[in-house]
């Protein structure tokens, strides 16, 4: 059975100062507009393998590579080479191409001072609009980490969601001033031994559907996903 711990001291204000008594220290938090580059799609060839012709044998190929006039590969001028180029062009035109995605990248450095190995971290940015304090927005993230005691790691998560969906007109009148009071907090930590450290007032059930969506597809190289 998992042991549940609830504490209220995990709420950390964004600042350059880290409180050494905290079990998890947060430093260097930041967010910025960012573009996620689309992964290039590789078209698998459906034409026969490139044949070996006399002009492409080792000595002939090396002699051609050393020429300064950059001669064309004889295969490209052959019927087979032209057919392969045309087939590749057709395949590429039929292959859906993903577009770059513009969104926001949220970052923070986490140091583990719990005395245990952390496997999962739930954390968030909380934005309170200065001109309209009732406008409070939370951007929450789930990270799968193997963070041993004393280790530090930068966590980053990309999402389409900005710090706030709406901005008060008073904020837009002061574009050079700070728009938000920003706070970073760790909501929940799951350890390798099955124990859980959870912030008082935070309820996992409130995010159960968001967690299910975030974990529904296989993860690539990313460590964190937005909830």
Over residues 171-175, the mean pLDDT reads 61
pLDDT score, position 94: 66
Q: What is the DSSP string of 153-178?
A: EEEEEEES--S-S---HHHHT-TTS-
Residue 8, pLDDT score: 32
Residue linked to tokens 């460590």: 223
Among 50-64, 157-171, 208-222, the range scoring the smallest mean pLDDT is: 50-64
Entry pTM: 0.65
Instruction: Decide: residue 107, CB within 10 A, 0-12 exposed, 13-18 middle, 19+ buried.
Output: middle
Burial of 140 (0-12, 13-18, 19+ CB in 10 A): buried
| Whether residue 168 has pLDDT greater than 80 | no
226 contacts 215 by C-beta, under 8 angstroms: no
Q: What is the pLDDT of residue 1?
A: 35
Please state, in angstroms and as integers, the Cα–Cα distance from residue 144 to each residue in 59, 111, 131, following that order.
53, 14, 36
- Give per-residue pLDDT as tens, 184-208: 999 999 999 999 988 888 999 999 9
CB atoms under 10 Å from CB of 198, counted, come to 19
Question: How far apart are the C-alpha atoms of 222 and 116, rounded to whole Å?
Answer: 23
CB atoms within 10 A of CB 136: 14
Those residues whose C-beta lies under 8 Å from the C-beta of residue 123, and which sit 6 or more positions away, are 26, 108, 110, 140, 141, 143, 155, 184, 185, 186, 187
List the structure tokens of 14.
């964004």
Separation between Cα atoms, residue 47 and residue 204, nearest integer Å:
53
pLDDT (0 to 100) of residue 50? 65
Q: Given this model, what pLDDT does residue 16 score?
A: 30
Is pLDDT above 80 for 71? no
Q: How many angstroms separate the CA atoms of 202 and 186, rounded?
A: 10
Lowest-pLDDT range, 3-17, 145-159, 209-223? Answer: 3-17
Percentage of the chain modeled with pLDDT above 90: 37
Residue 173 — very low, low, confident or very high, per pLDDT cuts 50/70/90? low
- Side-chain-side CA neighbours of 197 within 13 Å: the count stands at 24
The band of 5, judged by pLDDT with boundaries at 50, 70 and 90, is very low
Q: Estimate to the nearest angstrom the gap between the alpha carbon of 48 and the chain centroid.
A: 39
Task: Delineate the domains of the chain, giving CATH numbers in brackets.
Answer: 4-38+101-226 (2.60.40), 54-94 (no CATH)
Q: pLDDT tens digit string along 139-166? A: 999 999 999 999 999 999 999 998 887 7
Average pLDDT, rounded, for the chain: 77
Separation between Cα atoms, residue 55 and residue 96, nearest integer Å: 36
């Amino acid at each position: 059975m998992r042991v549940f711990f609830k504490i209220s001291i995990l709420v950390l204000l964004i600042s350059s100062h880290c409180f050494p008594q905290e079990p998890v220290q947060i430093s260097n938090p930041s967010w910025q507009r960012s573009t996620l580059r689309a992964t290039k799609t590789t078209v698998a060839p459906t034409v026969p393998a490139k044949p070996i012709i006399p002009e492409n044998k080792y000595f002939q190929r090396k002699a051609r590579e050393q020429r300064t006039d950059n001669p064309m590969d004889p295969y490209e001028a052959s019927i087979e080479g032209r057919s392969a180029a045309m087939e590749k062009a057709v395949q590429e035109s039929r292959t859906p191409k993903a577009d770059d995605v513009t969104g926001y990248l949220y970052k923070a450095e986490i140091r583990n001072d719990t005395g245990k190995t952390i496997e999962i971290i739930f954390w968030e940015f909380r934005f309170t609009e200065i001109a309209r304090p009732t406008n409070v927005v939370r951007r929450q993230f789930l990270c799968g980490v193997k963070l041993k005691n004393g280790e530090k790691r930068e966590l980053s998560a990309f999402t389409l969601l900005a710090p706030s969906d709406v901005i008060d007109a008073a904020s837009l009148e002061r574009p050079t001033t700070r728009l938000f009071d920003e706070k970073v907090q760790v909501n929940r930590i799951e350890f390798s031994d099955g124990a859980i450290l959870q912030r008082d007032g935070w309820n996992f059930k409130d995010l159960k559907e968001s967690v299910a969506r975030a974990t529904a597809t296989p993860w690539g190289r990313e460590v964190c996903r937005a909830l």
